[in-house]
Amino acid sequence: MAVKRKKKKIKLYDFIWQAYYKTVIIPLLLIEVLLVMSYFAANNWVKNEMSVHVMEQADTQLNEAARLQAELINVQLHGVANDTVLLSEAMSRALQQPAQLTEKDQKRLAYSPSGEFFTTQDTGGISVYYNGIVPVEEEQRQKVARVLTLETFIESVAKRNDLIAASYFFSHDGLITYYPYLDPATRFVPKFDITQYNFYYETGPEYNPEREVRWTTAYGSFSGLGYMISAVAPVYIGDNMEGIYCSDILVSHITKQIEEMETPWGGYAILIGDGGNAMAVPKQGRADWGIDVPTSMPPNWASALERRIDINSTEFADLVPQITASETGFSKITVRGEPRVVAWNTVAETGWKLLVVVCEKKMYEKVYTVSEGVERVGLFLLGISVLFFVIFTEVQRLRCEGFSKKASTSLLELNRLIKRIAQGDYYQKAPEAQTIEIEETLKLVAETGWRLGDTNKSLILMNNEIRQKEAYLKAALSSVDDFLLEAGRDGADLHPVVAGPKAETEEFERLLHWLGTIGTPVERRTIAAINQVIDTGEPMLMDFEIPTRYGKRWYISRLARIDVEPPRVIISVRDNTKRIEMEHSIIRARDAAEAASRAKSQFLSNMSHELRTPLNAILGFAQILEMDGAGKLTTVQREYVGEIISAGQHLLGLINGVLDLARIESGKLRVTVGAVNVRSVVDETVTIVTPFAEKNRVTVHVSPAPSLVIQTDRTRLKQVLLNLLTNAIKYNKPGGSVHYSCTVEGEIIRFHIKDTGIGIRKEEMDEIFSPFTRLERSSEIVEGTGVGLAIVRQLVQLLGGRIHVESTLGEGSIFTVVLPLYLKQMEERKPVKEKKILHLTSNRESRLAVARTLRQRPDVQYTAAVAEDGILRMKAFSPRLVLVDYPAPEIPPELLGDMMKTAKENNIAIVAVISQETQRAQALQEGFSATVTMPVTERAIMQLFESI
C-alpha cells in the first residue's frame, strides 16, 4: 500500500511570493518580451508602410514635376504654332491681293547673271530670294510685291515671341522670304526644288489634309543660326497649296530653359524627339551620362549631334521603347552603377517627351533617415524595459514580504470572529485590521452576523404568519359562491376542496351525485374533460345541465390542472341558470321582432297598393276635368281641380316612396346596369329641381360635371340625386343656396350636395337614415313621410356605393354619395336562405371567440348551446351551419350519430372546429361535412356558407 505523501506546508510570505511570482512576474516578463517584439515588428511594418507611402508621394511629385514642365514647354510651343498659323493665313491673304513693287523695293532688288531675283541690301526687314527654278518675270515680281506687304507684320510677330529665332516662307515656285535678314547670294542655293523635301510635302494635302501645323526634328539651320526645330504651316490659296511658312526655334534656347527649371531633389530634364532621339540635354545630364554637345558647327551638324547624343548607346537602351510608346510614365534605371528614377510626360503640341531624371538616394533620403531613427529608438526602449523589470521585481518582493506580515495578523482576527458567529453569537463588532481589504472583510463578516441574527428573528415571525394566513385561506374558500371540487384522472377521488356547511347543502349533494354517478352523460363529459386538462395542462370550460324537481338547472364549470404527482384537477362550478334563461328570452324576442318587421313590410306594401288604385282614378278624372273643362269651369273650379291634382301627385309621391322602401326591404327592387352619361344626369336633375328651388327662393349652384360615362342604373342614380337635391332645397332657408358638384377619384365618383339649411345635430346623424324618421324642428313646416333618406341609402347600397353626411347645426349639411365607376350587372336574385349558425360547445372561450368574429356581420344569426340540447335547437332554430368543437369527448357517440342524422334530414351542414391540421382527416372520417381551423375567421365562415 502506497504511503500518502504529506503536503509540505509553507509560510504565508513564501506562498504569496510564489503565487505573485507565477501570476505577475513571469507574465509581466512575457508581456515585456512581447511588447518589445511587437514594437520592433510594428516599427518595421510602419517603416515599410511609411516608406511605401513616402515613395509613392515622391513618385507622384516627380510625375507631377514632369507634367508641369512638359505643359510649360507645350504652352510655349503652342504659342509658336499659333503665330506660325497666323503668319501663314496672313501670307495666304496677301498673295491674293494685288500689289506693285515700291520704288524703295525696286532699288534693293536685282537679278543675278543666272536669273535669280533677290534683295541686295539689308534694310532691317526681310530678305527675298527667287532661286530661278522658274523664270522670274512680271508675274513673279508682283508676287514678290505681295509678299513684301507683310514685311512689317512678320517683323512684329517674330519680335513679339522670344522663342522664334527665324520666320520664313517657301513657295512651290522657288520664292523664299526670310527674317531676320540674310545675304541671299551666300546663304541660298539657286534653282533647288523645295517641294522635294520631306518637311514640305509632309505638310501638303496628301500627308496633312487637316492643314495643321507640323513640327520638324532637330536639324542644323542653313541660316547658320545653330541647331533648330521648326513649326511648319501650309499656305493655301483656295484648294491649291502655294507654299509653306516656317518658324524656327533654337534648341539651345530650349536647353537653357530646361537647365533653369526647378527640378525636385536636384534632378534635371531631357527633351526627347521622334524616334527617341535627344533634342536638348542640359550640362548636368551630359556630365551624368558622359556625353557632350559640340560648341562649333560642323558641316553635317545634325549627324554629329546624333552620334554624340545617342541614347541607345547609354543605359537608356531598354527604356527607349517604353518612353516612345506611352504618353506618360515612370521607371527606374541604373546610370554608372547608381540608381536613377525617371518620369516622363508628353509635350502635346509636338509629341516630344520631357524626361525628369532624379537620383534615387536623394529622392528617398527621408525614408532611410526615418528607418535608422526608428531602430535607434527601439534599442533604447529595450534597454529601458530590462532595467525597469529588474527594479520592479525587487520592489515587489520587498512589498510582498511586508504585506504577508500584516495579512497574517488580520487573518487570525478574522478566524476568531467567524467562530463566535458560528456559535450563535450573531451580534459582533468588527476588529481593526492593518489592511483595508481585510478590514472590509471583517466588517462584512460582522455585518453578515447581524443579518443572520435579524433573519433568524424574521423566520420565526414569518412561520407564525404563514400559519395564520392558511387559516384565513380556508375561511375564504368556504365563503365563495362557487362549488370547489378536486379529482384525479378518470374522476377518481372526487371530493369538495373545503369541507363545511356549504358542502352539506342539498344542491351540492345533487351536483356531486350527477358528476360522480357512473353512467350519466354529465359524468362521462366530466371525466373526459378532466383527462383532457391533465394531458394538455390548458384550463377548460364546460357547460352542463341537471334535472331537478324544480326544473332544469344549468351550470358552468372551469377545470384547471394542479401540478402535483400524480396530477389532479380543481373544478370550480357556478350556477348559470339565470343567464341561460335570459339568453332564451332574448332569442324569442328577436324572432318576434323579425316577424313584426316582415308583417310591417307586408302591411305597408298592401296599404300602398290599396291607396294608389283609387288615387290614380282621382288623378285621372281630375286631369280630364282640367283638359276637357276649359271654358266650361269657372276660375274657382279650375283652381280646385289644380289643387286636387297637386295634392294627389304629392300623395302619390309619398305612396311611391313607401312602396320603394317596402320593395327594398323585401329584396324585390332590382337595378338595371347600363352606360350612363354623368353630365346628362346632372343636367336633368338640375332642370327638374330648378322650379322647386325658385319657388322656395333657393339658388342652386352647379359645378361643371365631367363628361364621363359610367356603368350603373340611370333611374336609381337619378332618383338618389333628386331626393338629396329636393331635401337640400326643402330644409334650406329663404335666400339660401345649394352647391351641386361631382368629382372622379381613381375608380370611384363622388357626388357632393351642400346646402346652407338648418343643419343636423350630431345625435341625429344616425337616425335620419331610418324609415319614418324626421327632424323634430322641421316636421311642422316640411311635408313628407320621413322615408326619403332611408330609400336613398338603400339605393346607394344597391348601386355598390355608400353615403355619408357632415353637418353643422344652423349652418347647413353636406351629403356625399360615393359610387363605383363600373357596376357589374346583377343577376336575378334567387331566394337566399338566412345565414344561421348553431354552435354546440361547452367551452366559453370558444363560444366568445366565434361570437366576436361575427359581430360585424348583421346578416348572420349566431347562437350557442351544449351538445345535449343540440337536436332540439337544430329543429327549433333551423340553422344552415352547426359548429361542433373537435375533439368532443363530452359528446357520446350515439348522441353525435343522432345529431348527424337530424342534420341530414334537415339539409344542415355539421362542421368540426379543429385546433390542429392533423385532426382534419379523422373528423371527416367520423362523418362531419367539413372542418374549420381555430381561430375561426369571418372569411372561413363565409366560405362555408358558399360551399353548402
Express each pLDDT in 884-927 by its tens digit: 988 877 788 888 888 888 888 888 999 999 888 888 888 888 88
- Does some domain include residue 450? no
- Mean pLDDT over the full length of the chain: 76
Q: Give a yes or no: residue 178 inside a domain.
A: yes
Is the domain of 712 the same as that of 802? yes
pLDDT band at residue 804 under the 50/70/90 scheme: confident
In angstroms, the Cα distances linking 152 to 87, 101, 166 are: 12, 15, 14
Residue identified by cell 322656395 is 696
Q: Is 649 found in the same domain as 683?
A: no
CATH number at 517 reads 3.30.450
Find the range with the poorest average confidence among 338-342, 695-699, 722-726: 338-342
Decide if 604 is inside a domain.
yes
Q: What does the chain come to in residues?
A: 948
Residue 365 inside a domain? The answer is no
Neighbouring C-alpha atoms within 13 Å toward the C-beta of 885: 25
pLDDT at 17: 67
Query: Any residues with CB less than 8 A from the CB of 229 and at least 6 apart, and which?
Result: 215, 216, 217, 218, 219, 248, 249, 251, 254, 273, 279
Pair 676, 816 in one domain: yes
Assess if residue 635 is contained within a domain. Answer: yes
Is 930 found in the same domain as 839?
yes
Q: Could you report the per-residue pLDDT of 814-828, keeping only the tens digit for each? A: 999 999 988 654 443
684 plus 623 within the same structural domain: no
Indicate whether 605 and 545 sit together in one domain: no
Q: At 561, list the grid cell.
A: 390542472
CA–CA gap between residue 293 and residue 252 (Å, rounded): 11
Q: For residue 678, tell me if it sits in a domain.
A: yes
Does 270 map to a domain?
Answer: no
Q: Range with the lowest mean pLDDT among 3-7, 33-37, 56-60, 238-242?
A: 3-7
3-state helix/strand/coil string of 169-183: EEECCCEEEEECCCC
- Assess whether pLDDT exceeds 70 at residue 347: yes
Task: Please tell me the predicted confidence (pLDDT) of residue 43.
Answer: 72
> Are residue 148 and residue 195 in the same domain, yes or no?
yes
What mean pLDDT comes out for the span 235-245? 91
* pLDDT tens by residue, 666-690: 555 677 888 889 888 888 888 888 8
Among 575, 600, 615, residue at a domain's last position: 575
* pLDDT tens sequence across 830-876: 444 568 888 888 887 788 778 877 766 767 888 888 888 888 888 87
Neighbours of 441 (CB within 10 A): 17
pLDDT band at 799 (very low <50, low <70, confident <90, very high): confident
Residue 657's alpha-carbon distances to 652, 715, 720, 783, 801, in angstroms, are 9, 14, 12, 13, 20
Pair 455, 473: CB distance under 8 Å:
no
pLDDT (0 to 100) of residue 753: 92
pLDDT of amino acid 476: 60
Dig out the grid coordinates for 550 from the structure: 324544480
889 and 852 in a single domain? The answer is yes
pLDDT digits (tens, 9 = 90+) for 552-584: 777 778 888 888 888 888 887 877 777 777 767
Q: What was the pLDDT predicted at 648?
A: 60
Do residue 800 and residue 922 come from a single domain? no
pLDDT at 243 over 90: yes
Q: What is the number of structural domains in the chain?
A: 5
| The three three-digit cell numbers of residue 370, written as one number | 526615418
Instruction: Single out the residue in 623, 640, 663 at which a domain terminates.
Output: 663
Question: Which alpha helices (DSSP H) does 517-576 contain, by range?
Answer: 521-536
* Beta strands 699-702; 737-745: pairing state: parallel
Q: Is the pLDDT reported for residue 490 higher than 60?
A: yes
Q: Are residues 568 and 649 in the same domain?
A: no
**pLDDT for res 780:** 46
What is the spatial distance between Cα 218 and Cα 760, in angstroms, rounded to a whole number?
A: 105
State yes or no: pLDDT of 263 exceeds 80.
no
DSSP 441: H
In whole angstroms, give the CA distance from residue 286 to residue 158: 31
pLDDT tens by residue, 52-94: 666 666 667 667 766 777 777 778 788 888 888 888 888 889 8
* pTM of the entire predicted model: 0.36
Classify residue 153 by burial, with Cβ atoms within 10 Å: 0-12, 13-18, 19+: middle
Give me the CATH number covering residue 646. 1.10.287.130
**In what helix (H) or strand (E) does residue 726 lie, and over which residues does it extend?**
helix 714-730
Helix, strand and coil percent figures for the chain, each rounded to 5: 50, 20, 30
Same domain, 683 and 622: no
Handedness of CA 400, 401, 405, 408 (dihedral sign): positive
Span of 233-242, 393-402, 522-531, 754-763 with lowest mean pLDDT: 393-402
Instruction: Provide the pLDDT for residue 654.
Output: 57
- Is 105 in the same domain as 210? yes
For residue 881, the domain's CATH number is 3.40.50.2300
Among the candidates 790, 820, 850, a domain finishes at: 820
Strand 930-933 with 909-914, pairing: parallel
Kindly tell me if the per-residue pLDDT of 779 is higher than 50: no
Which cell numbers hold the place of 497?
A: 376542496
Domain annotation covers residue 445: no
State the average pLDDT over residues 430-442: 74
Q: Is the pLDDT of residue 176 over 80?
A: yes
Q: Which helix (H) or strand (E) holds 128?
A: strand 127-130
**Between 773 and 119, whose confidence is greater?**
119
C-alpha cell at 627: 283638359
Burial of 458: CB neighbours in 10 Å, binned 0-12, 13-18, 19+: exposed
**Which structural domain, as residue segments, surrounds residue 842?**
835-947
166: helix, strand or coil: strand
Q: Looking at 683-811, which runs of residues are DSSP E strands?
A: 699-702, 709-712, 737-745, 748-755, 802-808
- Tell whether the model's pLDDT for residue 751 goes beyond 80: yes
Start-to-end Cα distance in the chain: 91
